[in-house]
């Protein structure tokens, strides 16, 4: 089957109810916590994507068994000290920054060196943001000259607790240090700029000795050594980051309505909802509930008659960090100039995403001005694309692919989008759901 997708038809109005796949951040964390539990943990609706399969294979390399059936995934945890650190272990994190970074925190006590590798995209990403704090615990790292993967970690049997200031708003860095703190005598103290808090919520649910004091601009987290982790049975809610593509598709359509069922709407993840509401999209939550500390709801979206431009407050950045590419499409249709700032972290993702946002807009004929941490987008409510557009060589960044699909379906033109298999990392049935919208026509 061809790995290139051709789209040359816009989507018509729709009224739909959909369910997207399980949350990636929670799925990976479920795998890691369950691998340390005393006994068998079960997950339903685990995201079965390459990032999560890489996580399962990683714990398998450490001697932890798992089993996937149609109904559920089971992990046979061997307790907090259950990893077997054999000689010559090599963990392949593939495309997953979350796996690559979080697991290093758990490996600070490895008695044998462990090698961590990843795909072309992950091998370009910064790992000193993890090796620097983990060094302070006493772990040693060998990285490439450019400070990337492949790396080798050699642990310490007596990690020392640290004080760490996480100033990038990176949940991956924060979580990796929390995991290392779970293996360390004394109290590890983290002052962390606001970012998604799934790790903290899971710790609290599992009664792991972690406390969080919420300050205005940051959280103060304290974590102590953990003796036991109980098993974790989890019904994984749908991913807001996967929902985002369909929310924006609705925002860019006329007379359309969409309900997305059972989505994780953790307040640290719903930046896109705040931003699109400010731009004039009607979005509401139905059937809200709390599940194991996480907020879950059905999301209802109505297409607006017109989209307003936005001077996007920086306070929304961390909660929308994975959604900006697709948010830029809403700004492309908006009346007026939109401004997004403080976004240097976007260029640290699976591809340099701020640059890719600008590239896609340029190809669409939307004027924009970027520097290394901001973008101004000159919206055009009347934009209709009549030309050919080709999207390739984007390091297989799944979100570049999916954003291009939404652009093609919303603005028209003849789009040739390469590397369809990139969606396997986070959202393997994305195109199946898209096809359901086409049948609606
Ligand atoms: C993630 C954290 C974010 C996000 C990534 C998933 C997580 O990365 O972009 O897709 O699950 O912890 P950073 O921590 O680098 O901001």
Q: How far is ligand 1, taken at its centre, from the CA of residue 322, in Å?
A: 8
**C-beta 188 within 6 A of ligand 1:** no
Q: How far is ligand 1, taken at its centre, from the CA of residue 324, in Å?
A: 13
- Per DSSP, the residues of 272-315 read HHHHHHHTT-EEEEEEEEEETTEEEEEEEEE--SSPBP-EE-GG
Q: Which of 321, 352, 353 to mutate for ligand 1's pocket (most ligand atoms within 8 Å of CB)?
A: 321
Q: How far is ligand 1, taken at its centre, from the CA of residue 97, in Å?
A: 7
- Identify the pLDDT of residue 116: 98
- Identify the pLDDT of residue 350: 97
pLDDT class of 440 with cuts at 50, 70, 90: low
- Identify the pLDDT of residue 146: 84
Q: Is 236 exposed, middle or buried (0-12, 13-18, 19+ CB in 10 A)?
A: buried
Share of the chain above pLDDT 90, in %: 97
Model pLDDT for residues 285-311, shown as the tens digit of each residue: 999 999 999 999 999 999 999 999 999
Ligand 1 atom nearest the C-alpha of 168 is: 16
Residue nearest to ligand 1 atom 10, measured at CA: 322
Share of the chain above pLDDT 70, in %: 99
Check whether 46 has a pLDDT greater than 60: yes
> CA angle at residue 196 from 194 to 202, to 5 degrees?
120
CA–CA distance, 201 with 222 (Å, rounded to integer): 13
Residue nearest to ligand 1 atom 15, measured at CA: 170
Q: Which residues contact 226 (CB under 8 A, 6 or more apart)?
A: 80, 182, 183, 208, 209
Contact 423, 397 (CB under 8 A): no
**C-beta 266 within 6 A of ligand 1:** no
Contact 51, 99 (CB under 8 A): yes
**What is the side-by-side strand order in the sheet with 337-340?**
311-312, 337-340, 375-378, 368-370
Residue nearest to ligand 1 atom 5, measured at CA: 98
Phi-psi region of 396 (alpha: psi -120 to 50; beta: other; left: phi over 0): left
> Is 322 known to be catalytic?
yes
CA–CA distance, 274 with 22 (Å, rounded to integer): 22
Ligand 1 atom nearest the C-alpha of 169 is: 16
Mean pLDDT of 315-337: 98
- Identify the pLDDT of residue 147: 86
Model pLDDT for residues 60-88, shown as the tens digit of each residue: 999 999 999 999 999 999 999 999 999 99
CA–CA distance, 226 with 33 (Å, rounded to integer): 12
Helix/strand/coil (H, E, C) string of 129-198? HHHHHHHHHCCEEECCCCCCCCEEEECCCCCCCCEEEECCCCHHHHHHHHHHHHCCCCEEEEEEECCCCH
Matching residue, tokens 């100039």: 337
- H-run or E-run covering 220: strand 218-224
Q: How far is ligand 1, taken at its centre, from the CA of residue 8, in Å?
A: 33
Contact 236, 30 (CB under 8 A): yes
- Identify the pLDDT of residue 384: 94
Q: How far is ligand 1, taken at its centre, from the CA of residue 380, in Å?
A: 31
Residue nearest to ligand 1 atom 13, measured at CA: 170
Q: Which of 98, 194, 326 to mutate for ligand 1's pocket (most ligand atoms within 8 Å of CB)?
A: 98
Check whether 441 has a pLDDT greater than 60: no
Whether the CA torsion 80, 83, 85, 88 is positive or negative: it is: negative
Mean pLDDT of 92-112: 97
Q: Which of 49, 105, 170, 399 to mutate for ligand 1's pocket (most ligand atoms within 8 Å of CB)?
A: 170
Q: Which of 23, 24, 25 to mutate for ligand 1's pocket (most ligand atoms within 8 Å of CB)?
A: 25
Q: Which of 322, 382, 397, 419 is catalytic?
A: 322
- Identify the pLDDT of residue 246: 98
Contact 193, 221 (CB under 8 A): no
CA–CA distance, 226 with 161 (Å, rounded to integer): 13
Residue-averaged pLDDT of the chain: 97
Mean pLDDT of 118-124: 97
Check whether 366 has a pLDDT greater than 90: yes
Check whether 200 has a pLDDT greater than 60: yes
Contact 275, 320 (CB under 8 A): yes
Query: Residue 297: what are its φ and ψ, rounded to 5°?
Result: -160, 165
Q: Which residues contact 107 (CB under 8 A, 6 or more apart)?
A: 83, 114, 139, 153, 155
Query: Residue 212: what are its φ and ψ, rounded to 5°?
Result: -130, 125
Ligand 1 atom nearest the C-alpha of 241 is: 10
Q: How far is ligand 1, taken at its centre, from the CA of residue 401, in Å?
A: 18
Whether the CA torsion 125, 130, 131, 132 is positive or negative: it is: positive
Model pLDDT for residues 175-191, shown as the tens digit of each residue: 999 999 999 999 999 99
Q: How far is ligand 1, taken at its centre, from the CA of residue 24, in Å?
A: 10
């Amino acid at each position: 089957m061809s790995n290139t997708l051709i789209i040359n038809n816009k989507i018509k109005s729709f009224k739909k109810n959909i369910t997207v796949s399980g949350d990636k951040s929670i799925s990976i964390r479920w795998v890691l916590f369950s691998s340390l539990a005393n006994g068998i943990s079960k997950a339903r609706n685990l995201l079965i994507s390459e990032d999560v399969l890489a996580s399962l294979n990683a714990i398998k390399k450490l001697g932890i068994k798992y089993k996937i059936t149609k109904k559920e995934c089971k992990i046979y945890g061997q307790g907090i000290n259950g990893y077997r650190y054999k000689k010559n272990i090599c963990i392949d994190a593939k495309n997953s920054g979350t796996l690559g970074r979080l697991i290093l925190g758990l490996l600070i006590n490895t008695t044998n060196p462990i090698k961590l590798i990843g795909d072309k995209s992950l091998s370009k990403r910064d790992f000193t943001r993890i090796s620097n704090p983990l060094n302070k615990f006493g772990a040693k790292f060998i990285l490439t000259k450019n400070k990337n993967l492949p790396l080798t970690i050699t642990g310490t049997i007596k990690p020392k607790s640290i004080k760490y200031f996480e100033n990038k708003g990176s949940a991956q860095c924060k979580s990796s240090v929390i995991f290392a703190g779970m293996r360390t005598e004394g109290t590890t103290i983290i002052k962390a700029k606001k970012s998604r808090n799934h790790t903290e919520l899971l710790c609290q649910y599992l009664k792991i000795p972690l406390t969080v004091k919420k300050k205005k601009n940051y959280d103060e987290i304290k974590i102590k050594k953990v003796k036991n982790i109980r098993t974790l049975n989890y019904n994984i809610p749908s991913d807001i980051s996967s929902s985002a593509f369909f929310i924006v598709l609705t925002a860019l359509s006329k007379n359309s309505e969409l309900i997305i069922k059972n989505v994780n709407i953790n307040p640290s993840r719903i930046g896109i909802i705040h931003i699109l509401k400010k731009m004039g999209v009607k979005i509401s939550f139905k059937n809200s509930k709390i599940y194991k500390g996480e907020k879950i709801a059905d999301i209802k979206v109505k297409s607006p008659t017109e989209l307003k431009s936005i001077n996007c407050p920086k306070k929304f950045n961390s909660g929308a960090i994975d959604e900006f590419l697709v948010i830029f499409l809403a700004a492309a249709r908006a009346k007026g100039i939109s401004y997004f700032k403080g976004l240097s972290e976007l260029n640290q993702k699976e591809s340099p995403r701020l640059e890719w946002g600008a590239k896609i807009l340029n190809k669409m004929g939307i004027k924009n001005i970027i520097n290394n941490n901001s973008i101004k987008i000159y919206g055009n409510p009347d934009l209709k694309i009549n030309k050919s557009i080709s999207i390739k060589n984007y390091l297989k960044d799944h979100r570049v692919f999916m954003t291009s699909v939404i652009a093609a379906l919303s603005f028209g033109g003849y789009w040739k989008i390469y590397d369809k298999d990139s969606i396997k990392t986070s959202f393997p049935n994305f195109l199946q759901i898209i096809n359901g919208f086409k049948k609606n026509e």
